[in-house]
Amino acid sequence: MMSTPTVTTVRRLFPKAKLTILGKAVFTDFWKSFPGVNQFIPYEKGLGGFARNISRLKAEKFDAALILPTSFSSAFAAFAAEIPTRIGWSGEGRDLFLTNRVSRTHPREKHLVLEYLELARKGFEVSTLPDKKVKLQCAVTSDAQRGLKRVWEDTGVHGKTFIALGPGATYGEAKRWPLPYWQALIKKLLAERRESLLILGGMEEEAYLKPLVEGLSAKDSKRLHLLAGRTNPMILAAMLSRCKILVTNDTGPMHVAAAVGTPVVALFGSTSPTWTRPFGAGHEVIYHQVECSPCFQRTCPIGYICLNKISVGEVYQAVQRQLKKPHKVQPEKVPTAI
């Protein structure tokens, strides 16, 4: 999601070029429906898959590769595929494989969306970007809408208005606001709001999230739904587009919500909101920086102080502020410095 403004920028810089995305197979439908993208190549894992990736790239005879990841393998793949112009971040032993190296002297000090745009501008050697404001993008397709309808029928989701909750984070505990806090927030939302609540997460998070739906009255259970593992990226986008707001840890669905225009209340612990906050105008971030933050660690040896400082009351008040004036996320201004 955070690469979408850069993909749109590259399309505008080169309107007649054939634009191909190499990415994870799970995002095939997303990129095939993305405006301006002509082709999608699913990235294969493993040693054999890596060799096939290189072979496929080489056969396409690309003129240029814009390499957004900072990994060694991504730069080497473009080099091995003999792509003439190879743009990427310098360092990490990658310089030998790149033709247009861009220095990343202060990583994580600006939003990742802006880092990607900076890479494109400097790598393609253009003086200015075509858009002064940008936003994340994700189309809600008719197939996704039909998929969402099936999910809701299968899980018994009812209601006309929805609040989405993202209490998980596969990255690790240092991103997760504690479950007892989420339980208290859910009880408060059920008591004082009328929306149905949708708990999101991956299949591997279902067991972790299950306590959130236990011990409730029959009446409250009808408004609270655990949907972990029930969606793919496109169905998730359709679901979040129907929600008034998403309350979440620093997770992938946070960026999907931003891309479909749904406001986010984002709770940050070990990671940096400067770098990965929900992009766009209209979100709210809750972050209590302590001496050791952001540490970017998966677990914390000193008791998750940064997360425990976030109170249920301040999260609920943030939700109330967002819902008081319903709105869609607006584009964000691109600083002239990039």
Half-sphere exposure for 29 (CA within 13 Å, toward CB): 14
- The 3-state secondary structure of the chain reads CCCHHHHHHHHHHCCCCCCEEEEEHHHHHHHHCCCCCCEEEEECCHHHHHHHHHHHHHHHCCCEEECCCCCHHHHHHHHHCCCCEEEEECCCCCHHHCCEEECCCCCCCCCHHHHHHHHHHHHCCCCCCCCCEECCCCCCCHHHHHHHHHHHHHHCCCCCCEEEEECCCCCCHHHCCCHHHHHHHHHHHHHHCCCEEEECCCHHHHHHHHHHHCCCCHHHHCCEEECCCCCCHHHHHHHHHCCCEEEEECCHHHHHHHHCCCCEEEEECCCCHHHHCCCCECCEEEECCCCCCCCCCCCCCCCCHHHHCCCHHHHHHHHHHHHHCCCCCECEECCCCC
Q: What is the pLDDT of residues 38-92, one digit of tens each?
A: 999 999 999 999 999 999 999 999 999 999 999 999 999 999 999 999 999 999 8
Q: What is the pLDDT of residues 229-278, one digit of tens each?
A: 999 999 999 999 999 999 999 999 999 999 999 999 999 999 999 999 99
Q: Domain 4-131 belongs to what architecture?
A: 3-Layer(aba) Sandwich (3.40)
Q: What is the pLDDT at residue 135?
A: 97
Beta bridge partners of 89: 102
Which residue ranges make up each domain of the chain?
A: 4-131, 142-333
Q: Provide the pLDDT confidence category of residue 291 given band limits of 50, 70 and 90.
A: very high
Residue 291: phi and psi, rounded to 5, are: -55, -35
CATH number assigned to the domain covering 142-333: 3.40.50.2000
Q: Locate 205 and state its tokens.
A: 């998070």
Judge whether 279 and 261 are in contact, CB under 8 Å: no
Q: What gap in Å lies between CA 329 and CA 258, rounded to an integer? A: 7
Q: What is the pLDDT at residue 69?
A: 96
Judge whether 301 and 281 are in contact, CB under 8 Å: no
Q: What is the pLDDT at residue 337?
A: 80
Q: Which of 70, 134, 113, 121 is nearest to 274 (CA)?
A: 113
Long-range CB contacts (within 8 A, 24+) of 26-31: 26/232, 26/233, 27/233, 29/141, 29/143, 29/144, 29/232, 29/233, 29/234, 30/138, 30/233, 30/234, 30/237
Q: What is the pLDDT of residues 148-185, one digit of tens each?
A: 999 999 999 989 999 999 999 989 999 999 999 999 99
Q: What is the pLDDT of residues 113-144, one digit of tens each?
A: 999 999 999 999 999 999 999 999 999 999 99
Q: What is the pLDDT at residue 152?
A: 96
Please state the pTM of the whole predicted model: 0.95
In the chain, % of residues over pLDDT 90: 96
Judge whether 135 and 113 are in contact, CB under 8 Å: no
Q: Name residue, tokens 């029928």.
A: 153
Q: Provide the pLDDT confidence category of residue 282 given band limits of 50, 70 and 90.
A: very high
The CA–CA distances, whole Å, from 200 to 60, 228, 231 equal 38, 5, 9
Q: What is the pLDDT at residue 55?
A: 97
Q: Locate 330 and state its tokens.
A: 């607006």
Q: What is the pLDDT at residue 259?
A: 98
Q: Which of 56, 64, 128, 127 is nearest to 98 (CA)?
A: 64
Q: Provide the pLDDT confidence category of residue 30 given band limits of 50, 70 and 90.
A: very high
Q: What is the pLDDT at residue 326?
A: 87
- Domains 4-131 and 142-333 are alike in CATH topology: yes
